[in-house]
Amino acid sequence: MAIEFQTEGRIFTIQTDATTYQMQADTYGHLLHLYYGETAAGSMEYLLTFEDRGFSGNPWEAGEDRTYSLDALPQEYPTQGTGDFRSPAMAVRDAGGVWGCHLRYQSHSIRKGKYSLPGLPAVYAEEEEAETLEIQMEDPDTGLAVTLYYGVLPRLDVITRAVKAENRGNSPLFLEKAQSACLDFLAGTYDLIQFYGRHAMERQFQRSALGHGAAVIGSRRGTSSHQYSPFVILAEPDTSENHGLCWGLSFVYSGPFKAEAEKDQYGQTRISMGIQDEMFSYCLKPGEAFYAPEVIMSCSGQGLGRLSRNFHKTIRHHICRGRWKLTPRPVLINNWEATYFGFTGSRILEIARQAAELGVEMMVLDDGWFGKRDSDCSGLGDWQVNEEKLGCSLAQLSEQIHGLGLQFGLWVEPEMVSEDSELYRKHPDWALAVPGRKPVRSRCQLVLDFSREDVVDYIYEQISRVLRSARIEYIKWDMNRSIAEVYSAAADRQNPGEILYRYVLGLYRFLERLNREYPELLIEGCSGGGGRFDAGMLYYTPQIWCSDNTDAMDRIRIQYGTSFGYPISAVGSHISAVPNHQNGRVTPMETRGLAAMAGSFGLELDLDKITEEEKACVRRQICQYHQDWNLIHNGDYYRLAAPEEGSELAAWMFAAADGSEALAAAAALDVHGNAPASLIRLKGLRAESEYRDEEGRIYSGSGLMRAGIPLPRFREPYGSWRLRLWEVNHDENK
């Protein structure tokens, strides 16, 4: 068993292939965290030290023992009001407004398989692939019962955590904070790596030393946000891509979140992750339960690259689901950057016809096909096809596109409403708004109240009607603003402090139903690009439009940051026009294709405006993508050269798990005169094997990995390089 309980000392030990996690329910019933790191054997209770420390108080049960203090001991799930003055994982108030709860161990259970969470996305696994530990904690004074869930996937070095809080008392309790995971480290110096950004420039890598004073990131926007990713890494200062210890936390949730890391007064470090506690206050009536969403944790003793690969495999195989989880997805063309709102049905058909000639497999009709929607100021909520604009019905358009040999996809934004829409005129109270106050507009639109079941059900029916009306194989689910008004017109039923959480539950309910009723449908997530790029959405949508920024150079940086926590298969990525529409940069088609191929590949440009030579390049790249798809999506991903500020080169590669084939790629971020040769060292090959490239040149695996390979001299800005390798005599080498 991966999970063991040692009765003597009440010690829980979780062993994965390369890591150990240990905790102890001590004599007072406090659940103390002992260790999380590379494999270690035996009880580590001896790590705890006890000192009488000024102003660190002692629980009543400790009597005169002033050396026992929760302010200094490492804890598994610290709560406010226990004498631990660090940032708590949980804060509770009773009906009289009194803070505090004091959880103590009651019982536990260990079983095969992985727990699931009602209404929430979570890692899933076969019975034989995972184990579950549930620890029951209780506070006798308030009647709060808390279940701590641990899901273990030993082969992937992954431990998941989630929390259930139940009110077993007689009066309401208010959860003011409910994090899903918390880790206390007894000693050490750490860096926090996080991924900040903005619209069209998401997930930029930032690594900073963690000192005293909390480092807090999160979102207050109703979604996980462009600004911070709900994925963070704690790393020892000397940890690099290929060496050293690091821990990652990924939140399986798409709403506002908070991640905190702090070195405390005694040099101990606490990191936690969970839902955002600002504008959160969940009323638990007697008998009710609340679920804090899941956090996926992994630890790597072999650097950040290994940590990323653990997350890639977990998300690809145990979060993403359905028909498109592991099957090649169609290479699509999206009309947004080609036409924006200005299209007709025949223009779309013309794009599809040209795209078909290049080998594209699906035509996606973006925003503007419904209601009164010729700009972003109107029409959202009216999910009726604008046949006048299309010049035909959606079914007819789809049939014509299918006639060209392409599948058909459609853009939708179900969570939104324009004030200038039939829906809003009929149901103004369906938009989130505070009575008597003017709402904040963003992109001229308001947010529908998805915390309400009736609203979700109505929109579901509207979207479903469209899906039934034509052959539609794909939808792009967009969400184009942040939520500012946290108030529901159904206030009799909705406590404002619960709305943002219930909104996300409503969104998940919709997406779950869509997945069940349309199992063949490929859904691509989107929120102004990558504003809701998280493991929660990936449970329902196996790919997400990574950014509204389609410039190859910016995309390389955005996709670099994204690659730390999310698999390549999740990254929606397109070739677009030059000068690029977001930043005016001109990059060669070859490089645009290479950047877009490090993802779920597609096109988004006016094919009338590209040269025959560029068309030939795109045609070739689509063939390459088909040939390399398995390697790109199922292979191991390695970051070889980081596109950091000031660096001249970015390089990455994909290698089959058995080292039988590989694809390496690089792009010049900058060029200089008389530049020295750049050597990059490859990864994931078999040292003892030989490899052949597309020109028939032979290299040794050891040479490529240890000595490296020189890149050609880039003589134009933003040039790129690609090396496809096959192991020579692969079958005999096995």
Interface residues toward ligand GLA, by CB under 6 A: 336, 366-367, 376, 411, 478, 480, 526, 528-529, 545, 548
> What DSSP line would sit under 583-631, residue for residue?
T-----HHHHHHHHTSSEEEEES-GGGS-HHHHHHHHHHHHHHHHHHHH
Q: Which CB, 414 or 528, lies closer to ligand GLA?
A: 528
The CB-based long-range contact list for 488-491 (8 Å cut-off, 24+ gap) reads 488/432, 488/449, 488/451, 488/452, 489/429, 489/430, 489/433, 489/435, 489/449, 490/449, 490/451, 490/452
Partner residues linked to 23 by β-bridges: 12, 33
Residue 688, amino acid: E
Q: Render the burial of 55-69: b for 16+ CB within 10 Å, e for the rest.
A: ebbbbeebeeeeebb
Taking each continuous run of H as one helix and of E as one strand, the counts in the chain are 14, 37
What DSSP assignment string belongs to 213-233? S-EEEE--SSSS-SSB-SEEE
Query: For residue 630, how many other CB atoms are within 10 A of its CB?
Result: 14
Which tokens go with 38? 């590379």
Q: Which of 337, 614, 661, 727 is catalytic?
A: 614
Report the residue number, 602 or 659, with the smaller CB distance to ligand GLA.
602
Closest distance of CB 640 from ligand GLA, Å: 29
From the CB of 552, what's the least distance to ligand GLA, in Å? 17
C-alpha gyration radius of the chain: 27
Q: Give the residue with the Cβ less far from ligand GLA, 260 or 366.
A: 366
Q: Which of 253, 179, 175 is nearest to 495 (CA)?
A: 175
What's the per-residue H, E or C state across 93-104? EECCCCECCCCE
CB 194 within 8 A of CB 229: yes
Taking the complex as a whole, the smallest distance from the CB of residue 647 to ligand GLA amounts, in Å, to 28
The answer to whether 226 and 532 are in contact (CB under 8 A) is no
Closest distance of CB 340 from ligand GLA, Å: 8
Strands (E), 342-435: 362-365, 407-412, 416-418
Q: Kindly state the tokens that stand for 209.
A: 């030393």
- At 186, phi and psi to the nearest 5? -65, -30
* Beta carbon nearer to ligand GLA, 336 or 501: 336
**What is the enclosing helix (H) or strand (E) of 173?**
strand 173-185
Read off the tokens for 632: 């790109």
Residue with tokens 């803070």: 99
Q: Which residues neighbour 396 within 8 Å (Cβ) at sequence distance 6 or greater?
A: none
Give min distance, CB of 418 to ligand GLA, in A.
12
DSSP E strands, 372-447: 407-412, 416-418, 445-447
Residue nearest to ligand GLA (CB): 367
Judged by beta carbon, residue 139 or residue 366, the one nearer ligand GLA is: 366
Given the complex with ligand GLA, which of 77 and 336 has the nearer CB atom? 336
Ranges of beta strands (E only) in 223-288 are: 231-235, 246-251, 257-263, 269-275, 282-284
| E runs forming strands in 465-539 | 474-477, 522-525
Q: Smallest gap, in angstroms, from Cβ of residue 459 to ligand GLA?
A: 17
Nearer to ligand GLA, 147 or 549 (CB): 549
Minimum CB distance to ligand GLA smaller for 94 or for 420: 420
The distance of closest approach from Cβ of residue 199 to ligand GLA in the complex, given in angstroms and rounded to an integer, is 8
Nearer to ligand GLA, 323 or 581 (CB): 581
Q: Which residues contact 8 (CB under 8 A, 6 or more apart)?
A: none
- In sequence order, which ranges of 156-272 are alpha helices (DSSP H)? none
Closest approach of Cβ 537 to ligand GLA, in Å? 14
CB of 600 to ligand GLA, least distance (A): 14
Our CB check for ligand GLA shows the closer of 78 and 525 to be 525
Task: Give the shortest CB-602-to-ligand GLA separation in angstroms.
Answer: 11
Tokens 């506070």 label which residue?
139
Q: Is 534 a catalytic residue?
A: yes
Nearer to ligand GLA (CB atom), residue 341 or residue 458: 341
Burial label for 293, CB within 10 Å (0-12, 13-18, 19+), is buried
Residue with structure tokens 């996937």? 153
| Rounded least distance, CB 528 to ligand GLA, Å | 4
Closest CB to ligand GLA among residues 366, 551? 366
Catalytic member of 76, 534, 548, 554:
534
Least CB distance from residue 531 to ligand GLA, whole Å?
A: 8
Neighbouring residues of 388: CB distance < 8 A, sequence distance ≥ 6? none
User: Which residues are known to be catalytic?
Assistant: 534, 614
